[in-house]
Amino acid sequence: MFTAINEYIHRFASFSPQEVALFNSLLEHRTVPKKTFLLQEGEVCRFEAFISKGCIRSYYVDEHGAEITLQFAIENWWVSDIASFHENKPSRMFIETLEDCELLILHPDTKESLLRQAPCFERMFRLMVQRNLSRLQERLFQTIATSAEEKYLDFLQRYPTIPQRAPQHQIASFLGFSPEFLSKVRTRLSKK
Amino acid sequence: MFTAINEYIHRFASFSPQEVALFNSLLEHRTVPKKTFLLQEGEVCRFEAFISKGCIRSYYVDEHGAEITLQFAIENWWVSDIASFHENKPSRMFIETLEDCELLILHPDTKESLLRQAPCFERMFRLMVQRNLSRLQERLFQTIATSAEEKYLDFLQRYPTIPQRAPQHQIASFLGFSPEFLSKVRTRLSKK
DNA sequence: GTAATTTCTTGAACTAGTTCAATGTCCAGG
DNA sequence: CCTGGACATTGAACTAGTTCAAGAAATTAC
């Protein structure tokens, strides 16, 4: 149950067996069916969830009711609204499972307890968030600088499993254009 | 010289006088004239710079030679390419002063030394990066979900000093549209 | 103080992407 | 097995934003 997450944390830093044991002991294991909301707009996010199995989407809803997908999270990724989690404030996001999921969960108090008992995890979380930040910078750049077609092709490379796991209109909302246009881009590409 | 940065770090965590003294002792103070490149594409970023005075822009250049502004950094902000800095790899960014600047600089080795001697700074940097990440999430959402006019108005609220400090075409490239269109948006707004 | 360069504005022609509506497809549930 | 709802496709009309070109305004450099 913990092999994946233990491999994961060792990619960022080294930990003693005791530290790993402490970490594992603080994780809550949870099984969640598909189409379940882990978080809805207005709620405070009380988890950071590591996905051992399954696929989860986080998204915003804009003033016209349109969805904008922030993230497709799959195996070996974390999902949370960190701003809401850390500042204890209502979230603007929805987080919903796309498949049946196996999660390993940290709560605000268990995370604090972990960091108090084993401060070396601060480093791991810092490096994790840093990596996230640079990826998001790249994505913003791409959102502004490239055409819908390029974005879609790049998406297929980067997230090869998502097209089988999420409907197209959600992918369009991740890439930043309308589902109809994604459909047109796809037919255009398949004619080449 | 250190008052601003010391206030800044205390907003994220508490530090003993010794820790603060160590931190300050590791900072390199540097004065940089306007229109100086702190980093150019292809170089490895060897600094995290806290701006005591001045204004700095970081941007990408896309395949057609167009600039995309990632950040306008002013007093009490940090500027760096964290991916390049931490993974020691060539950057895709340019970082250029818009004004004469006073900077307090951490280098990769001084940062490591700081974190080794005073691990509590891990926490501060983690919280800093987290805040950055959530702001960038908001910005991505806004880039996708709102009109040019809304983006510009929101920009004026959020960065009231930048219009006096940076040319309009750079602001347009931050907001994600062409300088000509920004000009049109502005005349449209001023007619209201 | 004037030349040179960068920045900003305006207009006309264009295009990438949107919106709406209609039709077709694919399931999941009873 | 058939039916209702979600999902995808297509086309036509539209629009927000782009591109190009030219001129005006503002800065900068000597």
CA distance B114 to chain A (A): 13
CA of B65 to C1' of C16 (A): 20
The pLDDT tens digits for A11-64 are 999 999 999 999 999 999 999 999 999 999 999 999 999 999 999 999 999 988
Task: Of A129, A4, A131, give the one whose Cα is nearest residue A75.
Answer: A4
Confidence of residue A180 (pLDDT cuts 50, 70, 90): very high
CA dist A45 to A49, A71, A166, B153, Å?
A: 11, 16, 23, 30
To 5 degrees, how large is the angle CA A68–CA A111–CA A44?
A: 40
Calpha distance B123→A125 (Å, rounded): 9
How many Å apart are CA A106 and CA A103, to the nearest integer? 10
Q: Which two three-digit tokens encode residue A135?
A: 């990826």
Confirm if B20 and B6 have CB atoms less than 8 A apart. yes
Q: Name the percent of chain B lying above pLDDT 90.
A: 96
- Residue A191 pLDDT level (bands cut at 50, 70, 90): confident
Chain B residues closer than 8 Å to A127 by CB? 86
Residue A92: per-residue pLDDT:
96
Q: Compute the Cα dihedral for B154, B178, B100, B164 and give only its sign.
A: negative
Only one residue has tokens 């998204």, namely A59
- pLDDT digits 0-9 by tens, B145-161: 999 999 999 999 999 99
pLDDT score recorded for residue A76: 96
CB atoms near residue A132 (< 10 Å): 20
- Do the strands B93-97 and B56-61 form a parallel or antiparallel pair, or are they unpaired? antiparallel
Query: A68 and B144 in contact by Cβ < 8 A?
Result: yes
- Which residues sit close to strand D, CB under 7 Å? A 167-169, 179-180, 182-184, 186-187; B 147-149, 176-178, 180-181, 184
Residue A192, pLDDT > 80, answer no
Residue B131, SS3?
helix
pLDDT in tens, B42-84: 999 999 999 999 999 999 999 889 999 999 999 999 999 999 9
Condensed to tens digits (0 to 9), the pLDDT of residues A138-160 reads 999 999 999 999 999 999 999 99
Share of chain B above pLDDT 70, in %: 99
Query: What is residue A30's predicted lDDT score, i.e. its pLDDT?
Result: 96
Of A120, A123, A140, nearest to B139 by CB-CB distance is A140
pLDDT (average), residues A62-76:
95
Q: Is a pLDDT exceeding 90 seen at residue B192?
A: no
B119/A119 Cβ within 8 A: yes
Closest nucleotide to B177: CA versus each C1': D17
Model confidence at B162, in pLDDT bands (50, 70, 90)?
Answer: very high
What's the mean pLDDT in B170-183?
Answer: 98
Task: Kindly indicate the confidence band of residue B1, based on its pLDDT and cuts at 50, 70 and 90.
Answer: confident
